[in-house]
Amino acid sequence: MRLRGNYKLILGAACRLLIVALATLGGFFARHGPLEQDLMASLQPPDLLNPEYPFGTDQLGRDVFSRMVSGARVSLAIAAAVVFISGGIGLLLGAYSGFVAGARDTAIQKLVETVWAFPPILLAITVLTFFGQSLPNVILALSLQRWIPYTRVARAQALTLRDMEYVSASRIMGGGTGWILTRHILPNLIGPAIVVATFSMATAILAESSLSFLGIGVPPEVATYGSMLADGRSYVTQAWWLAVFPGVGIFVTVLGLNLIGDALRDMFDPKSHLNVS
């Protein structure tokens, strides 16, 4: 019943499925590899009836459609890895902090405030400049601060759950901290964590595109939306499709994730289902 008429969730899911279909099925329709060059066919305009280059070619004669497929795969892979790493760290740390409270909670929150003080994009640039360009380094750079929202949400929920009767009963029966966290606290954090994860994936994709646009993200031989935008900015007046297609890819991906996150937040919020007269 909650899904019926939820247009934000439906539109977000449609955008999400479009990008997933491009990443998973687009390779079956691409006639060329994302790095394959044909200088004789450079800067061909898009033609959906042309199976060779339906989205046209860039200044080096590379197939824009196959590069869009590669960009979708890289974006989804980085976003999933960042959410998995940062979500795992943030949930465990936040649940432990809120459950134990006291001095350990204060120390963890001081750590959160210290890390949060650094500008995210500058911190990512510093990491990539020091360690070099690679896919694992990009994931590391984007995960350094994205565990903080999970920690804050998990801590707030754990502070409430630790006083519940079933948690107190488990503690009286001899349940240790690890047992209570895994059996009673963490399972109740799944809903809020999913909401945070959808928004975190969107910001991770934007950050990765920004880093690739600046030329310090993934290696140059990997086609991403950000690097495609960087290559196409010099040909905006001559070949509009070089910037438009990757820009649309970023827009659709981020829009879908934000709509899904917004819809899930409304679904998991009990106040949104109350009839207030």
Closest CA to 186 of 143, 157, 227, 226: 157
Closest CA to 161 of 183, 132, 143: 183
**Cα 207 from Cα 211, distance rounded (Å):** 6
Write the CB contacts of 166 (distance below 8 Å, at least 6 apart in sequence): 184
- Tell me which CATH code domain 12-33+55-272 carries: 1.10.3720.10
* Pair 167, 161: CB distance under 8 Å: yes
Using one digit for the tens of pLDDT, what is the confidence trace for 103-121? 888 999 999 988 888 888 8
User: Could you tell me the two tokens for 131?
Assistant: 């360690």
Using one digit for the tens of pLDDT, what is the confidence trace for 231-267? 888 888 889 999 999 999 999 999 999 999 888 887 7
Instruction: Please say if the pLDDT value at position 68 is more than 90.
Output: yes
Alpha helices for 132-233 (secondary structure H): 135-146, 148-161, 165-172, 177-180, 190-214, 225-232
* Pair 38, 57: CB distance under 8 Å: yes
User: Average pLDDT of the chain?
Assistant: 87
* Pair 184, 161: CB distance under 8 Å: yes
pLDDT band at 273 (very low <50, low <70, confident <90, very high): very low
Q: Which amino acid is at 140?
A: L
pLDDT top residue among 248 and 8: 248
Beta bridge partners of 63: 57
**Domain boundaries along the sequence of the chain:** 12-33+55-272
User: Could you tell me the two tokens for 196?
Assistant: 């945070």
Place of tokens 């405030």: 113
Write the CB contacts of 13 (distance below 8 Å, at least 6 apart in sequence): 256, 260
Using one digit for the tens of pLDDT, what is the confidence trace for 146-192? 999 999 999 998 888 888 887 778 777 877 878 888 888 888 888 88
Which of the given ranges, 48-52, 98-102, 237-241, has the highest pLDDT on average?
237-241
User: Could you tell me the two tokens for 206?
Assistant: 């934007």
